[in-house]
Structure 1
Amino acid sequence: MRILFIGAVEFSACALRELIEMRADVVGVCTLLESIFNADHVDLTPIAEEAGIPVCSTMDINGEEALNWIRRCEPDVIFCFGWSKLVRSPLLELPRLGVVGFHPAALPENRGRHPLIWALVLGLEETASTFFFMDEGADSGDLLSQRKIAIEPEDDARTLYTRVTEVAMGQIREFVPLLESGRYQPQPQEHSKANVWRKRGITDGRIDWRMSAETIHNLVRGLTRPYVGAHFDFGKHSVKVWRTEIGLDIAANLEPGKVLAAEEEGLLVKAGIGAIRLLEYEPRISLTPGDYL
């Protein structure tokens, strides 16, 4: 089974290495040399070249130049894992087995953008690793493989990204032989259960001290590395916050944004409900109890 691989993020790199280790017949790789969209961008060129796989670097996977290159590879199936733009016809119709995509959410729920970030920011307790056959819609095609994944209270973007990746690699090892033998069973999605998450903007990452401590904590853990980080403005500084913990019960008659303690382990700040301790942030700013953010 001839596989054409498309991707340009950390997850893409892991999946491509997995296929190479499986000795799958990867006949070509399409990737991006650089990206302004993905904080976890990875150029797959070195991985492909080391394995002797031809590479096409393109900004437009649906463009005629990329399409002609892919046609020459004569793929039976295309794996598109980690590409920020929709794949459209005629590329969707080019391989006989179709185009398999990946979405780290429990489709048909939570289609759309930034699924790991939104799951953490919203405080969800579960997500999933889902492979599906791509169609003209956004994450709406038939399911190929899905595994549910619990989100633990201590999880952040990095730990959840890592665990989803580990689960997904196991799924790849399972479904590649099924695709090759024709023994796979696609499952239509129940579209009535679908919702679509929107693209995250810079204002979605701004900490408002009137939020509850829990909401701020979820925002920080959802946007921490490998993503862009939550932030707040202080003077001329935009301060990135990478790690927090919820503080002890605090008197309700204190105003949000008030610095309650400036400790060695971090700043304790009054939130709309409760208090939040900033454990890791940059740049470090000089504050004393009684100051306001």
Structure 2
Amino acid sequence: MKAVVFAYHNVGVRCLRALIGGGVDVALVVTHRDNPNENIWFASVEQVARDYGIPVITPDDPNTPEVLAQVQAVRPDFLFSFYYRHMLKAPLLECPARGAFNMHGSLLPKYRGRVPINWAIIHGETETGATLHVMNVKPDNGPLVDQMAVPILPDDNADEVFAKVTVAAEMVLARSLPALLAGKAEFRQQDLSQGGYFGGRKPEDGRIDPQAGAADLHNFVRALTHPFPGAFADIDGGRLVIWKTLRAGGHSQQLQTARLHSENGALWLDAVDGGRLKVLSATLDGAALDPATTQTLTLA
């Protein structure tokens, strides 16, 4: 069986290798050029393709007549998309004889759309996962092939959850591949009423809501910490970025807005709902905050 693969990021690397390991003839890989302004903390699909001697292209737009002609020339049985960042339009999806399939980083139909892992953590979910589904012109809309859940522990950050989802994606593809190749895979329609669509996130979306409760603040911080831009507040002393917190029970004082302060040799973030977070890492204008010298900072 012959496939064309659109892929990027760690999920792209592991799923590409799963296809190769499963005996699929990957005839063409389409990926992205790395953006020099982006923090590239993930593995390279392009490098894996070159290691295996697979032709690879990096178009800015995959939906051009030139790219379509290259895909059609391969005469693929399958088209796969693994964390590729552009939507593929109908002409590309109609190329493969046996279908087009996407790997999505959530338990569809929940968290359709962009950056599903970050959104799941922001909303305090206790699990997420990886889903292989049929591609159509609507994002994350097609019938399900298989999915696998992974836990989100209360203090897991997005990087840690992404590592779990990457393994789940590889396992889902590996166990689904034999049935797909044999033409025996069973598809299940999504009940789209059981989930919603979420858009992409920008660094500016990391602004902390000073009126949020402690649980929401904790989820926000761990969803946006390294390698992402971080949860921040612009205060009198500059830009405060909170990188890591732990849930720490409550405090008795009623507050109008969240505040960060030093107490007993540690940093604490007190929320308006009476909850308290222990702050393990924070910076002010790029310099690490020292509990010994940090004054009370109000997040207004």
The aligned length equals 292
Q: Give the stretch that moved more between structures: 229-238 or 120-129.
A: 229-238
Write the deviation string for residues 127-159 of structure 1: whole angstroms up to 9, x where unpaired.
231010100111111111112333221322111
Q: Distance in 1 between matches of 2:263 and 2:31?
A: 46
1:29 is paired with a residue whose SS is strand
Does the CA contact (< 8 Å) of 1:240 and 1:281 recur in 2? yes
**Aligned match of 1:30:** 30
Q: Distance in 2 between matches of 1:236 and 1:64?
A: 53
Q: Distance in 1 between matches of 2:214 and 2:40?
A: 26
Q: Distance in 2 between matches of 1:259 and 1:48?
A: 48
How far residue 19 of structure 1 moved from its aligned partner, in angstroms, is: 2.6
Does the CA contact (< 8 Å) of 1:10 and 1:40 recur in 2? no
Q: Give the stretch that moved more between structures: 248-257 or 43-52.
A: 248-257
**Aligned match of 2:138:** 137
Write the deviation string for residues 214-269 of structure 1: whole angstroms up to 9, x where unpaired.
111100111123333222223464333321112342123345343331665x5212
Q: Distance in 2 between matches of 1:10 and 1:92?
A: 23
**Aligned match of 1:292:** 298
Write the deviation string for residues 28-61 of structure 1: whole angstroms up to 9, x where unpaired.
1101112468865654221111111111111111
Q: Distance in 2 between matches of 1:84 and 1:134?
A: 14
How far residue 101 of structure 1 moved from its aligned partner, in angstroms, is: 0.5
**Aligned match of 1:267:** 267
Identity value in percent:
29
Q: Distance in 2 between matches of 1:45 and 1:154?
A: 33
2:262 is paired with a residue whose SS is strand
Write the deviation string for residues 177-219 of structure 1: whole angstroms up to 9, x where unpaired.
2111111111121233342123334443111232111111100
**Aligned match of 1:94:** 95
Aligned partner letter, 2:141: S
Does the CA contact (< 8 Å) of 1:255 and 1:270 recur in 2? no
**Aligned match of 2:52:** 51
Does the CA contact (< 8 Å) of 2:254 and 2:272 recur in 1? no
Aligned partner letter, 2:83: G
CA shift in 2, pair 1:258/1:227, >3 Å: closer
Aligned partner letter, 1:104: G
1:77 aligns with 2:52: no
**Aligned match of 1:4:** 4
Write the deviation string for residues 53-86 of structure 1: whole angstroms up to 9, x where unpaired.
1111111111112111112222110110112221
Does the CA contact (< 8 Å) of 1:33 and 1:43 recur in 2? no
Q: Give the stretch that moved more between structures: 30-39 or 104-113.
A: 30-39
Task: Provide the TM-score with structure 1 as the length reference.
Answer: 0.90
Task: Provide the TM-score with structure 2 as the length reference.
Answer: 0.88
Does the CA contact (< 8 Å) of 1:105 and 1:127 recur in 2? yes
RMSD: 2.3
CA shift in 2, pair 1:135/1:215, >3 Å: same
CA shift in 2, pair 1:229/1:94, >3 Å: same
In the alignment, structure 1 segments of 5+ residues that lack a partner are: none
In the alignment, structure 2 segments of 5+ residues that lack a partner are: none
